[in-house]
């Protein structure tokens, strides 16, 4: 192998992650795609551990596009499958989402990275508005990220009625670039839900590891976050299992287009 080619391969192997990669699965960082760039991103989230044999798969396919400097948009198609009850009843749902992300400060050049995020979801059985405040900081091989999230949702209930929910969430992630494309980290998430009428439904705190592998044109991330503690009126052995699960596993993959 020529010396120049060998040097290029070494450079790529040790290069920092690209702007579109996600080395944390629940916390966004402030990076956005350059103007004209596109990326396909695939999501799969497995949720398990509620009573009566509950499991759920949330799947998303996303097309990300860089518009102008500091601004990107995304289009999603979402497919959800829920298995619940002793008989293993399955419920499937789909929806469409549109995301906008605006980067205001850079996590390396500025004291703190900052981005604003908004997402609209519409489907036959659900509608949702979500907003995020994204904060992050890069310190050499370390990435720290914190998201503050608020959402308003409407879900189809019985006999044509709709259930109105409010959600607040905070996430924190820290990951370390091990070199060779590997990133290892830890993610924490606290989520709380309210419903118009009944009021507070419950909340839960999740914590677990995340592992990512990044190449020049693709990347993959996997996190396993069990529920550590729940709060509300429906806790079982210290866990909230009416609105939250014992375990969430999330797999993300991205490919440059």
pLDDT band of residue 19 (cuts 50, 70, 90) is low
Enumerate residues 6+ apart whose C-beta is below 8 A from 200: 192, 193, 194, 232
Q: For the CA atoms of the chain, what is the radius of gyration?
A: 19
Pairing of strands 142-156, 239-240: unpaired
In the predicted structure, residue 11 carries a pLDDT above the cut 60: no
Enumerate domains of the chain plus CATH numbers: 3-256 (2.40.160.40)
pTM of the predicted model as reported, rounded to 2 decimal places: 0.89
Mean pLDDT, rounded, for 2-11: 38
**Which of 23-32, 59-68, 81-90 bottoms out in mean pLDDT, i.e. has the lowest?**
81-90
And the tokens for 72? Answer: 């990107």
pLDDT for the residue 86 = 67
pLDDT for position 37: 96
The CB density around residue 101, as the number of other CB atoms within 10 Å, is: 23
**Are 23 and 67 contacting, i.e. CB atoms less than 8 angstroms apart?**
no
- Residue 73 pLDDT greater than 60, yes or no: yes
- Selected residue with higher pLDDT from 52 and 167: 167
Across 103-128, average pLDDT: 97
Res. 12: pLDDT tops 70? no
User: What is the model's pLDDT at position 130?
Assistant: 98
In whole angstroms, give the CA distance from residue 27 to residue 148.
9
- pLDDT one-digit tens code per residue, 150-176: 999 998 876 567 889 999 999 999 999
Please report which confidence band the pLDDT of residue 144 belongs to, taking 50, 70 and 90 as the band edges.
very high
User: What contacts 24+ positions apart, CB below 8 Å, involve 215-219?
Assistant: 215/181, 216/12, 216/15, 216/18, 217/255, 217/256, 218/253, 218/254, 218/255, 218/256, 219/17, 219/18, 219/20, 219/21, 219/22, 219/23, 219/253, 219/254
Residue 90: pLDDT band with limits 50, 70, 90 = confident
Mean pLDDT, rounded, of the chain: 90
Q: Is the pLDDT of residue 113 over 70?
A: yes
The whole-number pLDDT of residue 1 equals 40
| pLDDT given at position 233 | 82
Q: 234 falls in which pLDDT band (50, 70, 90)?
A: confident
Higher pLDDT, 140 or 236: 140
pLDDT in the model for residue 2: 43
Cα–Cα distance, 249 to 85 (Å, whole number): 21
Mean per-residue pLDDT for 96-101? 98
Q: Is the pLDDT of residue 4 over 90?
A: no
Q: For residues 39-44, give the mean pLDDT.
A: 98
Contact 198, 176 (CB under 8 A): no
């Amino acid at each position: 192998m020529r010396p120049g080619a060998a040097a290029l391969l070494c450079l790529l192997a040790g290069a920092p992650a690209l702007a579109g990669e996600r080395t944390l699965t629940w916390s966004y960082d402030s990076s956005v795609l350059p103007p004209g760039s596109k990326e396909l991103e695939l999501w799969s989230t497995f949720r398990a551990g509620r009573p009566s044999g509950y499991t759920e798969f949330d799947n998303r396919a996303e097309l990300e596009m860089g518009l102008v400097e500091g601004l990107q948009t995304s289009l999603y198609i979402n497919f959800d499958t829920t298995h619940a009850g002793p008989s293993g009843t399955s419920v499937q749902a789909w929806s469409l989402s549109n995301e906008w992300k605006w980067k205001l400060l850079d996590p390396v050049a500025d004291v703190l990275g900052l981005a604003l995020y908004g997402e609209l979801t519409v489907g036959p059985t659900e509608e949702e508005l979500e907003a995020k405040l994204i904060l992050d900081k890069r310190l050499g091989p370390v990435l720290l990220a914190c998201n503050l999230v608020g959402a308003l949702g409407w879900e189809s209930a019985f006999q044509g009625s709709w259930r109105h929910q409010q959600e607040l969430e905070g996430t924190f992630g820290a990951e370390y670039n091990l070199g060779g494309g590997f990133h290892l980290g830890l993610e924490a998430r606290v989520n709380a839900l309210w419903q118009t009428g009944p009021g507070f439904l419950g909340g839960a705190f999740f914590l677990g590891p995340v592992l990512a592998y990044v190449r020049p044109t693709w990347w993959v991330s996997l996190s396993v976050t069990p529920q550590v503690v729940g709060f509300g009126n429906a806790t079982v052995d210290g866990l909230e299992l009416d609105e939250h699960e014992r375990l969430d596993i999330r797999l993300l993959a991205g490919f440059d287009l």
